């Protein structure tokens, strides 16, 4: 007889959500996390979108360590001299709060504590070395010389899922499947943040940036998120471009971002409290492996659940949703006494019916847009050139807006037909 009904590897949002769901249903659950405490090894963009936690923690908006709700969302291109932005503010988010800034160390500890309170056994500072398997079925986990048995294992170990890779359940991520995320947290007084970002109370700012000013053909995005009394600032760097370059150092990219004239003024006077780096999953639907089998399921970043279409970055909501669905599949398997591939296929069916997979399918191939020369070089230069022609008064007759856009495109060596084709491909994938 197994020691546990389920073992969950990883106490991030996916793993803890699965553990809470199963423990609430009375399953004997072990949640294993190598960080001590949970969250210490994570880097996050910082915005928890959606309401998925309501399914397992009804009062989470009152009890979770939430920093600020997103009232203002900015998406920008940064060139060496300019910032071209879509700046969206709405009072509607004050009543329908769809996104919250969070600090992962605090959130992960909160969720793992909720798992413990629900009845799960939570062990931190322990590394799972491999899966315990017999005749192709997962029957537990191995830590050094110790084997812990279970009816099923849920792998929620992040963007570099070593246990799943070692067991042959996933291929190692390639350079195009992951990016390098670097984050710094700057301490600033709450009043200073509110004044500088034009906020009131616990309203917050979320900004994502395309770093078009980088040289040596390196691509990266940046982000700024306001916490109560700190700013999460960071970059996400294309690994494939970084490897091709071979000389640019990732921390230099971070320094260039926070030193940009339109970013540095938003961080001025802030004291760096922490610095961290981590892989960020970027692969699309086609890179996702089979997420269940005899005695196992894969959830969260380990499964490939993250999303960016250049306008918004999401991941924690997909992790929570997939963890809850994995937990539900385990509950049903326990009722039937069947943890086979066929039984756990209900996890796959639930995913197919959820927004987690539907978003992946809708935006299939979006990574080819977000990491393309079109987004990182061509569009920012066209936008900057067009804005200068629109708003820079020279005493000369003004051109029609369409002519300005076409001339700006021609200045970048793009023909009218190429502009239409690339624009169509961009809109189709976004």
Q: What is the pLDDT of residues 214-230, one digit of tens each?
A: 988 899 999 999 999 99
Give the global pTM: 0.92
Distance, in Å, from the CA atom of 297 to the CA atom of 50, rounded to the nearest integer, reads 23
Please state, rounded to an integer, the average pLDDT across all residues of the chain.
90
Q: What pLDDT does 387 receive?
A: 86
- For the chain, how many residues are written? 430
In 3D space, the residue among 330, 377, 44 whose CA is nearest the CA of residue 184 turns out to be 44
Q: How confident is the model at residue 177 (pLDDT cuts 50, 70, 90)?
A: confident
Q: What pLDDT does 416 receive?
A: 63
The upper half-sphere exposure of residue 330, i.e. CA atoms within 13 Å in the direction of its Cβ, equals: 36
Q: What pLDDT does 312 receive?
A: 76
Distance, in Å, from the CA atom of 211 to the CA atom of 421, rounded to the nearest integer, reads 24
Alpha-carbon torsion (74, 276, 41, 357), positive or negative: positive
Q: Is the pLDDT of residue 8 over 90?
A: yes
Q: What pLDDT does 280 receive?
A: 85
Q: Which residue has the higher pLDDT, 289 or 7?
A: 7
Question: Mean pLDDT over residues 306-335, rounded?
Answer: 91
Q: Is the pLDDT of residue 299 over 70?
A: yes
Q: What pLDDT does 271 receive?
A: 95
pLDDT in tens, 355-378: 999 988 888 888 887 888 888 888
Q: What pLDDT does 157 receive?
A: 94
Q: Is the pLDDT of residue 430 over 60?
A: no
Tokens 């659940």, residue located = 305
Q: Which residue has the higher pLDDT, 411 or 388?
A: 388
Q: Is the pLDDT of residue 72 over 90?
A: yes
High-pLDDT (> 70) share of the chain, %: 94
pLDDT in tens, 20-49: 999 999 999 999 999 888 887 776 558 999
In 3D space, the residue among 68, 53, 42, 61 whose CA is nearest the CA of residue 16 turns out to be 53
Q: What pLDDT does 201 receive?
A: 93
Q: Is the peptide bond before 306 cis (omega within 30 degrees of 0)?
A: no
Q: How confident is the model at residue 261 (pLDDT cuts 50, 70, 90)?
A: very high
């Amino acid at each position: 007889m197994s020691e546990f009904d389920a073992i969950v590897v990883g106490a991030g949002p996916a793993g803890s959500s699965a553990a809470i769901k199963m423990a609430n249903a009375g399953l004997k659950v072990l949640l294993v996390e190598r960080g001590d405490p949970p969250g210490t090894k994570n880097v996050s963009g910082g915005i928890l979108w959606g309401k998925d936690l309501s399914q397992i923690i009804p009062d989470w908006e009152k009890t979770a360590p939430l920093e600020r709700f997103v009232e203002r969302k900015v998406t920008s291109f940064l060139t060496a001299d300019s910032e071209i932005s879509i700046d969206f503010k709405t009072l509607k988010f004050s009543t329908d709060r769809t996104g919250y800034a969070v600090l992962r160390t605090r959130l992960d500890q909160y969720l793992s504590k909720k798992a413990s309170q629900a009845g799960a056994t939570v062990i931190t500072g322990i590394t799972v070395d491999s899966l315990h398997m017999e005749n192709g079925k997962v029957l537990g986990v191995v830590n050094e010389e110790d084997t812990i048995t279970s009816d099923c294992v849920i792998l929620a170990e992040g963007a570099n899922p070593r246990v799943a890779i070692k067991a042959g359940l996933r291929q190692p991520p390639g350079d195009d499947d992951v990016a390098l995320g670097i984050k710094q947290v700057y301490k600033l007084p709450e009043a200073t943040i509110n004044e500088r970002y034009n906020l009131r109370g616990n309203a917050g700012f979320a900004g994502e940036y395309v770093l078009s000013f980088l040289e040596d053909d390196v691509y990266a995005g940046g982000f700024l998120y306001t916490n109560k009394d700190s700013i999460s600032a960071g970059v996400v760097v294309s690994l494939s471009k970084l490897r091709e370059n071979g000389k640019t150092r990732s921390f230099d990219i971070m320094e260039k971002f926070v030193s940009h004239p339109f970013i540095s003024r938003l961080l001025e006077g802030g004291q760096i409290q922490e610095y961290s780096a981590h892989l960020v999953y970027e692969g699309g639907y086609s890179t996702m492996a089979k997420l269940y089998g005899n005695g196992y399921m894969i959830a969260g970043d380990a499964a490939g659940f993250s999303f960016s279409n250049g306008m918004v970055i999401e991941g924690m909501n997909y992790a929570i949703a997939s963890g809850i669905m994995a937990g539900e599949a385990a509950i049903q398997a326990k009722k039937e006494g069947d943890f086979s591939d066929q039984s756990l296929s209900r996890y796959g069916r639930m995913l197919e019916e959820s927004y987690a997979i539907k978003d992946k399918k809708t935006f299939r191939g979006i990574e080819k847009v977000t990491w393309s020369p079109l987004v990182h070089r061509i569009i920012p230069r066209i936008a900057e050139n067009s804005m200068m022609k629109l708003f820079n008064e020279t005493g000369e007759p003004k051109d029609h807006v369409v002519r300005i856009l076409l001339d700006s495109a021609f200045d970048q060596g793009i023909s009218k037909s190429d502009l239409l084709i690339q624009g169509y491909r961009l809109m189709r994938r976004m």
